[in-house]
Amino acid sequence: MKLGAIEAGGTKFVCAIGDEEGSIFEKIVIPTEAPEITMPKVYEFFKGKGIERMGVGSFGPIDLNEKAGTYGQIQKTPKIDWIGFPLADSLSEKLGVPVTVDTDVNVAALSESRWGNATDVDTCLYITVGTGIGAGAVVNGQTLKGLSHPEMGHIGVRRHEEDSFSGACPYHQDCLEGMASGPAIEARWGKAGVELSEDPRVWEIEAHYLAQALVNYIYIISPERIIMGGGVMQQTHLFDLIRKKVVEMLNGYVSSPRLTEENINEYIVPPGLTNEAGVKGALGLAMK
């Protein structure tokens, strides 16, 4: 069966045609401009290619409530041209196929669970730490959503005792994203993270916030693996700092051999997929 897949990002739409094995036959990249400029190019690419279903991993916020009449519609976003745009319905009407949408991070989690670093488990969490912080999860083969999509990047965190930075989130000030996103690092230290690789204070504080978040995700969802991606995680020395703090903070409370000092390396890991992770995950969505 031929399937359509779109990774709809803030700067580009990656559109692909593939199959249920995750193979991709044809791919195109279209810049994200206003919907009336971008979307006709998207329809054009897919038209007449014989796809039977489509999956879309989209920037957001996007309505994921299948019971709402506004399923697959872009909600309030800084990209004002897109507010209210019915992404799922318009694709479905123009191409005559059922369209499933999900958040970009849920799609990344799905991609890792099918083809990446979480193929051996049933429940995994993917977190991206970059311009923003977002996370998605797969539970028993399905992405986690309910009332709406989760917004795991905005949970409350406790301040590091040496950190007086007020926080960069416009909604919550010092939530996780407000304290630990790329822009938060830059605002706190006056330089981008990439220029601060050698300063241990920066990463001690960064790891403090990210480890807290992971511990809360473990207490609340109990994923069998956590995958950390995004620009900030390119500072690969962060992984060991985070792993160490997670074990310390859990303080032996959750009995699992995966959460010990010896095994935590295989529990908190980088993504297994790099190229095509987004479109492959969107293919995964189309399969359901």
Query: Which lies closer to its own copies via its Cβ, residue 140 or residue 236?
Result: 140
- The distance of closest approach from Cβ of residue 237 to its own copies in the complex, given in angstroms and rounded to an integer, is 24
Interface map 88-127 toward its own copies (x if CB under 8 A): ---------------------------------xxx----
- Region from 35-43, 185-193, 200-208, 213-221 binding its own copies, contact rule CB under 8 A: 213-221
Among 27, 41, 94, 145, binds its own copies (CB under 8 A): 145
Residue 75 makes contact with its own copies by CB under 8 A = yes
Q: Tell me if 145 sits within 8 A of 138, measured CB to CB.
A: no
Is position 24 an interface residue for its own copies (rule: CB under 8 A)?
no
Contact yes or no for 180/208 (Cβ under 8 A)? no
* Distant-in-sequence, close-in-space partners of 170: CB < 8 Å, separation ≥ 6: none
Tokens describing residue 159: 């301040």
Q: Which is nearer to its own copies, 39 or 221 (CB)?
A: 221
Position 77 contacts its own copies (CB under 8 A) = no
Cα distances from 185 to residues 166, 189, 274, in angstroms, run 12, 6, 24
For residues 222 and 265, which CB has a smaller minimum distance to its own copies in the complex? 222
Q: Give the three-class secondary structure for 197.
A: coil
Local structure of residue 259 (DSSP, 8 states): G
Residue 41 touches its own copies, criterion: CB under 8 A: no
Helices (H), the chain: 35-46, 87-95, 104-115, 176-180, 182-189, 200-220, 237-250, 277-287
- Compute how many residues bind its own copies; rule: CB under 8 A: 45
As measured in angstroms, the least distance from the Cβ of 81 to its own copies is 18
* Residue 4, both tokens: 């359509």
**Token output for 224:** 């069998």
Alpha helices by DSSP H, listed for 223-276, are 237-250
Tell me if 223 contacts its own copies by CB under 8 A.
yes
53 neighbors 100 (Cβ within 8 angstroms):
yes
For residue 266, which amino acid is it? E
Per-residue tokens: 225? 């693996």
Instruction: Report if residue 286 touches its own copies, rule: CB under 8 A.
Output: no
Residue 260 touches its own copies, criterion: CB under 8 A:
no
154 forms part of the interface with its own copies (CB under 8 A): yes
State the residues that interact with its own copies by CB under 8 A. Answer: 61, 65, 75-76, 121-123, 139-140, 142, 144-152, 154-158, 171-172, 212, 215-224, 251-256, 258-259
